[in-house]
Structures are given as C-alpha cells and as structure tokens.
Amino acid sequence: MYVKLINPKTHGKAAYTNTGSCAQTLNYLQHEAVGEGQEATFFSADSDEINAAQLRDSIDTNVKGLRATEAKFYSLVVSPSEQELAHIGSDPDKLRAYTREVMSQYAQNFALPSGRQLGSKDLKWGAILHQDRTHRGTDPEVVAGTAKAGQKRAGLQAHVHIIVSARDSEQMLTLNPGGRRQRFDLMRWQTAAGRQFERQFGYAAQAHEKLRPKARERDPSRDAGRLVKIAERVARINLLVPREQRLAAERVQGIAGARHFDKTFYRMLNRVEERARDGRPIDNALQLLTTGREQAATPQRQAATALHAVQRLVRSAQASQEERTEQVADKPGRRRAELDIEM
C-alpha cells in the first residue's frame, strides 16, 4: 500500500498552490478522470457521489482563522499495489470504504495538546477514484525503451486522490499533516493505512508492499557549503539585533556541526532570524540553537528587547511619514494603474 502526502510545489505537471481555492486542483482531477473515460464525481465520508462544486464550496469556506499565506487544504493519494487491487477485484465500492477508514485514521493521528482524539466527522474532505496511471520519464520501463512517457501503465492501476481541509469542521483547529512529527506522525499514518487494508480485506501483504523507512545519511562533502551559508545568515541576523545580542558565526557553526546539521538546528535558526526581523530578538539564541529550547529572558533583557522594538517602530513610522509626504506632493490626476469602469 502506497499512501502519500503530496508536495504541491513539486508535483510534476500537476504542481499547484494550496494557499487559495482548491478549484484548480479539482479541475485537474476531473480532467484526468474524464480522460480515463469515467464520470468525474467525487465521494466523501457520508456520500458516494458529490460534484466538484459542492466539494469546492465545502473546502473553500472552511478557512476561518487561516492567514492568506497558509495552506487551505492538503492533497493525499491512496494507491494500492496491483496485487492488492487484484485481491479486492479493483472494486470501487471497496476502495471507497477503505478510503473512509484511512481518513478516519488520518483524523485520529493528530495529537492535540488537550489529549482529545479527532474522528472522521471532524474533517472536511472529498476524494475521486482514478483507474489509470501513466508512465513518467524516470520510470525503468521508459529508461529501458520498452515504454514511452505518458503511455498508460499496464495492469490494475486504480488509486484515490483526496483533498482535505487544513481546518477541522468546526474551524477551531489547524490540521497540518506535514508539520511537526509530534503533532502528526506521517509514517505512523502510512503504516496504519497498510495494516488497515490487511485487516479490512483479509490480505497478507508482501514485503515490497510494506512501508520501509529509508535511512538517509548526511553527505559530509556538503558541510563546507553549509557552514558558509550559516555564516551568511548570522551576518544578516547581527545587522538586526543590538550589539550585546550579536552572534559569533564560529559558535553557531560549531553548534550546527555538533548537531550534525539536523532539522531542529535549522528550525531554531529560522526562529532566531524571524524574531530578529520582528524586533524581538531571543535572549539566549545560542542555547536555543544548542538545545532547541528557549531560555526565559531576564527582566533586564526583556526591557532591552522592548526598547529595541520601540526604536524599530519609531524608525518605521518616520519612514512611513516621509513616504506619505511625498505622495501628497504628487500632482493630481488619474494614476496609470486605475481602470475605466462603465456604469
């Protein structure tokens, strides 16, 4: 069983943005279904047939509390192996029933601070069944010359595309399956999906159908480049913070090396840089980078940080005042960007 969270920016010819309406993605999924000679209808947790407009409205209106730049929905793929499909006769009804169980597990996999467990009723989602797949240019068959890119794959190829809202049905929680592992363990959900198929249909999965974590080793030959980029980021940070909070590039590089350039280090470095840009520098950035935990600021440091933030606001207000003064001095008249509107 292959269950995947799609990265919208790298999804091949179907790359899309998920920070706005899901209409583009739904149109693509419909187009693919029609190209396969099937009806372009979707299904949900409680309906075997909903149209694209209904699903679009369900997802696009479930965005209360999300900022403009935040993801509004996520795309998932449930793709059984050819052997798994043969076991259930590639039955659409069974695939829909299985997808509903997978989405129930998706909801349950979110770990909330309150300890509450979500269920399928807490999600807004819809899915569509596709019967065919096509070869990609990197497929072994294409490389070997036995198939062409874009050509339909042989055998059973049914799979399910899912669109799920980034907010719960009450629009109180943001549900990000690609965020911190402590909040949503993607691999645990993928493993559970495979086991669900086995339980639901009495199937004994073969070794190649089970999820196997891939060990990723760091390439030491790239460490020199990493150190240079870290030094450049430290230099940018130092331009934004008071002198007493400036960082020594060598210290930061040493911490990065000691942590083997892990994701936590870079996530904390992002936090340091973002806070510096906002005028809220972190009291002990080195500890944060080393441990991943921020030390509580002393009263003296809090006062210094507040003063620095006020100074930034004053400079920003002065710059804004100068800009307004220049605009007032502009000659009156219609701007080039204005449009004629017929009444």
Could you tell me where in the chain the CATH 3.30.930 domains are found? 2-209
Cβ contact 150:135 at 8 Å = yes
pLDDT, averaged across the chain: 84
Is the pLDDT at 310 greater than 80, yes or no? Answer: no
Q: What CA–CA distances, in Å, run from 95 to 79, 87, 174, 263, 283?
A: 10, 12, 28, 36, 53
Q: Are strands 2-5 and 125-130 parallel, antiparallel or unpaired?
A: unpaired
Is the pLDDT at 323 greater than 70, yes or no? Answer: no
Rounded distance between C-alpha atoms, residue 99 and residue 3, angstroms: 11
pLDDT of residue 340: 30
Is the pLDDT at 215 greater than 50, yes or no? Answer: no
Confidence of residue 37 (pLDDT cuts 50, 70, 90): low
Strand arrangement of the beta sheet that strand 125-130 belongs to: 2-5, 73-79, 159-165, 125-130
Four-residue CA torsion sign, 214, 217, 263, 266: negative
Write out pLDDT tens, residues 121-176. Answer: 999 999 999 998 887 777 778 778 888 888 888 899 999 999 999 999 999 999 99
Q: In this prediction, what percent of the chain has a pLDDT beyond 90?
A: 54
Is the pLDDT at 315 greater than 50, yes or no? Answer: yes
CATH code that applies to domain 2-209: 3.30.930
Is the pLDDT at 216 greater than 90, yes or no? Answer: no
Rounded distance between C-alpha atoms, residue 262 and residue 140, angstroms: 33
Rounded distance between C-alpha atoms, residue 276 and residue 238, angstroms: 9
Long-range contacts formed by 261-265: CB under 8 A, 24+ apart = 261/218, 261/223, 261/226, 264/292, 265/289
Query: DSSP of 179-236, one letter per residue?
Result: S-TTTB-HHHHHHHHHHHHHHHHT----GGGS--PPP----GGGHHHHHHHHHHHHHH
| pLDDT mean over 233-237 | 94
> Among 51-55, 99-103, 234-238, 240-244, where is mean pLDDT lowest?
240-244
